[in-house]
Amino acid sequence: MARIIGGLTSSHIPAVGNAIANNQTQEPYWKRFFDGYGPAQAWLSEHRPDVVIVVYNDHGLNFFLNNVPTFALGCADIYCNDDEGWALKPVAPFQGDAQLSWHIAESLVAQEFDIATCQEMKVDHGFVNPLRAFYGTCDVWPVKAIPLAVNTVQHPVPTALRCYKLGKALRHAVESYSEDLRVVVLGTGGLSHQLQGERAGLIDVDFDLQCMEKIANDPDWMTQFSNAELMRRAGTEGIETIMWLVMRGALESNVRIVHKHYHAPISNTGAGVLVLENYE
């Protein structure tokens, strides 16, 4: 049977892709941020997942404002990125697993999560940059990747609670798949940031650190907040942190924190890395 072996989180900042492409990761501005991925890279090379389910939001590349699904699952065998306006260069295509995706889709719908299914899906920095931070930029990616897009862009946005419940359904979906696969769920986005308006540049370090601790040890805490409350505290784009709850819902109730790293500011964001492991 397929098994979820752990969960990862990462912010998904466009400038990260350019820093990697331009060999700037060891420069003073970037070094501490990228150092936060070292233990996660080591964990990945030790545990070698076969598949990573990347929970991210599309930022207008694949879905524009005229057509925004709440939850959309990639059901393809290949995913490509494209220029989305941040001068990000194309990277090697990502291999998917359409058969697993369709199984997940069927199971999620049976569990009353009526997701959109996408047999073609272009992936943006929200998907690509966390994978580059965890794996480096590869000519052939060492893991299959399945995109699961969550609308965090245009209201109405699903709640943190809904995302947490989706994670639980996702776990059931994966763990009812007959092939022996080692699966990791990666929640991207967040932590606090706001890119526009009077509060542009907002970062709340205390709230970010509290979210990281609670998502690992007491995820129900996070589900008490409405989206308005989360945006008031963490900024309009800080709402992306709800996607970490999808990852957390896919794990057991008690998890081991293998690695935790926080760095702020980087670009416009409070950036967090988590590696959580299910107890065997």
Residue 175: exposed, middle, or buried by beta-carbon count in 10 A (0-12, 13-18, 19+)? middle
The residue among 5 and 72 lying less far from ligand DHB, judged by its C-beta, is: 72
H/E element, 33: helix 28-35
Antiparallel, parallel or unpaired: β 51-56 and 116-118: unpaired
The residue among 49 and 238 lying less far from ligand DHB, judged by its C-beta, is: 238
Catalytic residue among 193, 259, 261, 263: 193
- Contacts with ligand DHB by CB under 6 A lie at 12-14, 59, 189, 193, 195, 237, 240, 267-269
Dist CA 175 CA 278 (whole Å): 13
Q: State the DSSP code for 257.
A: E
The residue among 72 and 173 lying less far from ligand DHB, judged by its C-beta, is: 72
193 is an active site residue:
yes
Catalytic residue among 125, 259, 261, 263: 125
The residue among 51 and 246 lying less far from ligand DHB, judged by its C-beta, is: 246
| Strand, helix or coil for residue 210 | helix
Q: Least distance to ligand DHB from the beta carbon of 131, Å? A: 15
Smallest Cα–Cα separation from 244: which of 187, 186, 189? 187
103 is an active site residue:
no
Residues tagged active-site: 125, 193
